[in-house]
A and B are shown apart, each in its own frame.
Chain A
Amino acid sequence: MTRKAHILLIDDNPAENLILSGLIRKVDSIDIELHYCRTMDSAIAFLLSGEPVSMVLLDNLVHPRGDFRETVPALRHQGFIGPIGVISSSPGDPYFQSLEEYGADFRIDKSEIDATAIEFILREYLPD
């Protein structure tokens, strides 16, 4: 039986939701349900609603909030203890070295997200 994973994408650009939805359709080893929130407030409300969330993929800059150093702790303060991955177009920026101190699990470049990367991340963070 195929496993199910609930991914919450938080990104103020709806186009990223469309792109990720397309990539996820290419992953056949795990049944992925993608949830999408455009703002941090709606994401926090979603987490508090009790809907299942296995993993959060968070755009590094969600306006009007700051970068992951502000947004990841805000998610953690809601009691979310699943993995959080930060999506950025410049994950090599020096401040990403403190990723784990702020409660994030991993970073990934927007251009690196493909079906293989999604499968790897799910295997790594949501094992059987």
Chain B
Amino acid sequence: MQENHRRYDLYEELETALNRVDFFRIFHTLALRFGFGHFGVLQLGNENDACMLSARLVLHDLPSGLAEEYDKRYRFGDSIVYKALHASNISSVWRADDPVLVSGQNLPAQLGFELLLCVPVSAATTGARYAVLFLGYGGDPGQAAHYELCYSAASAFDYFHRATLANKAGMGLTPRETEILKWISHGKTASEIALIVSVSEHTVNSHTATILKKLDVVNRTQMVAKAIREQIIQ
């Protein structure tokens, strides 16, 4: 990351964030600092695709089951907020009592919140569009707070996307990933590999997902075949 990029208060956190929990901590703290209760990072996709809110949330701290309950009762694609996010890149603030949010399309009210602030963002490498949502109660943030939140959300999303969402095809494997790949090629299961290399099964699965991305393959068989072909393993 260039020194020219200003990250202000988030500099240390963003530079040292390792995984999704670290980004949860960053976004959650950001939400609380600006008077919101919750956040969500939403993948926008194509406007006309059938979409469910729960499937579009790539990271969030909403109460468990809230997005799924919403999807049972409403169509996210019908909400005015969803349409507005596809129509404009300008940050927007929505109140549940906003007259423009007609019944049946009122996303903040349907989720049980009074206030929703949306910050449209995009992936630097692919242009894929996302939005960082902040949900809560109370009054609108002032102009200065709104500007600061937009800047911080865009900065945090940029790091989050590069660390966890970006396609890493063609990137080299780390020593730990190569070690896990070797054990996969020996036919070991995730739990067996976790025992062998002294990490959690979750970490093994996470490394395996990263190896799939980096080698640009879709399953473990193809992964091993490509790794042997490219002489990553013997």
Where the two chains meet, the residues of A that have a C-beta atom closer than 8 Å to any C-beta of B are 29-30, 73, 76-77, 79, 81-85, 92, 94, 96-97, 99-101, 103, 105-109, 112, 116-117, 119-121, 123-125
Contacts and interface: CB of A to CB of B under 8 A. Distances in A.
A99 B17 CA distance: 11
A108 B21 contact: yes
A92 B12 contact: yes
A96 B16 contact: yes
A108 B25 contact: yes
B222 interface: no
Contacts of A81: 191, 194-195, 199-201
A116 B61 CA distance: 6
Given A77-B198, A83-B202, A99-B18, A30 B64 contact: yes
Interface string B166-205: 0000000000100000000000000100110011111100
Chain B interface: which size bin? 20 to 34
B19 interface: yes
Nearest to A98: B18
A82 B201 contact: yes
B122 interface: no
B79 interface: no
A76 B63 contact: no
22 contacts: A29-B64, A29-B65, A30-B64, A73-B198, A82-B200, A85-B21, A97-B18, A99-B18, A100-B19, A103-B200, A105-B202, A107-B21, A108-B25, A116-B38, A116-B63, A117-B28, A119-B61, A119-B63, A120-B28, A124-B20, A125-B200, A125-B202
A76 B25 CA distance: 25
B203 A105 contact: yes
A82 B61 CA distance: 22
B78 interface: no
B25 A103 contact: no
A73 B22 CA distance: 21
Contact of A79 (B12, B64, B195, B202): B195
A113 B57 CA distance: 22
B177 to A, nearest CB: 11
B200 A105 contact: yes
A94 B16 CA distance: 8
Contacts of A106: 19, 21-22
